[in-house]
Amino acid sequence: MTGPAPPFPTRHKGQIPVTELLAKASRSLLDVWGEEMFHSRGTVLDVLGQRLMVFNRPEAVEQVLVTQADSFAAKPAQLRKCLAPLMGEGLFIAEGAGWRGRRPATAAATACPAPPRAIAAVAAEWRDLWRTRPAGARIELVGAMEACAAELLCRMLFGAAGGRVASAELARLAAAYRGKISGKGLITMLALPESLARMRVSGEARRIHGAVDRLVEGARRLPDHPMARLAEAPGMTKAMLRQEAISLLAMGLDALAGLLAAAWFLLALSPKAEAGLHAELAEQLGGRPPEAEDIARLPVTRALLLETLRLYPPVPLLMRVAARETEVAGVPVPAGSLACVAPWVIHRHQALWDAPDEFRPARFMPDAPAPKPFAYLPFGLGPRHCVGKEMTVNMAMLLLATLAQEFRLHLTPGPLPVPQAGLTLRLAERLPMRLERR
């Protein structure tokens, strides 16, 4: 089994000065990893007075995220500084008793039974939209999948209130906020004192709060919808409900959009994978739209998405602060150290995968050996793993199965995209593709 190896950022050789590392980090968090990191057990660095420990070994990953999760419960202050003005104490950045109180209700709400119908409706609308496009039409993939992910999530979370206009508005507002906290914006945020950093993003945050409040209000009355369920959780206030809605949207939007865009890109790069997908869809669905019950019958579609998440993990770096002095896989960890577990590195580590930079969906077929334990973690691991995991894979499968039955996307001439990352990974800023009816 072989597969294409899509481009990835240049990996420097040997040690580089911390100043150079910081300059790379301000461009993209994927650029900081040198060649050696993809072979090694990790590294320890002192950066601007903080001990930074990168853990690559599976047993270290297990200890930081699972068995010692209590010692590594806190997320870095830098992350909170960027996200708290937007999501307050929303689940993604909540800590301690606040996090423990919120997690069960939010996790239960995202497992609500209504969504598959909502997903199928959005998928059908995108199919109908693409049917109106002439043969060979240009599609800007990254923007299209952002719009699509926003619609899927809004409809799933807010029901009919989250229609196309509302979701387009939210996607626009989210992009404006992201612009303020990534790249050079991130450096500015981190350099400013707390109050000024908050002020810098207050306009964007206020607009998002307003838009989300309106959507939450519309969705509360819908039976069996996530927001209605969450609203009924004991002790849930209006402010908390908004924070949870934003936390779900903020986490879900970029990650889902990134997964969908990367999946279409990899399909266009791999005629073999594309043919396998088309064969499965023809055999299992025979031209009819997929339903929630079909998900279990589409292992090729699932494998394609799981391999996409391996090569392009939407959350490429997980960070935790050590609350107390401890030891991880035999390495002493002083209190206050920043522990880093990087899915981007672990998913492409030479000791954990065969031909790690190649796209080989067959790795995730039911008859293939399971990945090594703690070597595959696109949704994180342990008590803080993603609450949207199941829902995300189902949404992406239904969307892809609906659209790929009728359409394929071709790459247009030009260099292939090299991914970049701030808090989330981006395949490209823009990626023009050509739409073809099958």
Chain contacts with ligand HEM (rule: CB under 6 A): 91-92, 103, 110, 247-248, 251-252, 255-256, 259, 314-315, 318, 378-380, 384-388, 391-392
Q: Based on CB atoms, which residue is closest to ligand HEM, 38 or 72?
A: 72
Q: Based on CB atoms, which residue is closest to ligand HEM, 92 or 265?
A: 92
For the CB of residue 418, give the shortest distance to ligand HEM in the complex, in Å. 20
Tokens 């004991």 sit on residue: 234
Q: Based on CB atoms, which residue is closest to ligand HEM, 380 or 432?
A: 380
For the CB of residue 23, give the shortest distance to ligand HEM in the complex, in Å. 25
Amino acid at 98: G
Q: How many CB atoms lie within 10 A of CB 23?
A: 14
Kind plus residue range of the DSSP H or E element containing 53:
strand 50-55
For the CB of residue 156, give the shortest distance to ligand HEM in the complex, in Å. 7
Q: Based on CB atoms, which residue is closest to ligand HEM, 218 or 378?
A: 378
For the CB of residue 13, give the shortest distance to ligand HEM in the complex, in Å. 29
Q: Based on CB atoms, which residue is closest to ligand HEM, 428 or 435?
A: 428
Dig out the tokens for 81 from the structure: 């500084």
Antiparallel, parallel or unpaired: β 420-421 and 407-411: unpaired
For the CB of residue 343, give the shortest distance to ligand HEM in the complex, in Å. 7
Q: Using an 8 Å Cβ cutoff, are 12 and 32 in contact?
A: no
**Integer Cα distance of 135 and 131 in angstroms:** 9
**Integer Cα distance of 102 and 95 in angstroms:** 10
For the CB of residue 387, give the shortest distance to ligand HEM in the complex, in Å. 5
SS3 call for 23? helix
Amino acid at 120: A
Name every residue whose Cβ is closer than 8 Å to that of residue 70 and which is 6 or more positions away in sequence.
Answer: 323
- Torsion 298-300-306-309 (CA) sign: negative
Dig out the tokens for 305 from the structure: 């998405």
Q: Based on CB atoms, which residue is closest to ligand HEM, 304 or 435?
A: 304
By beta carbon distance, the residue nearest ligand HEM is: 388
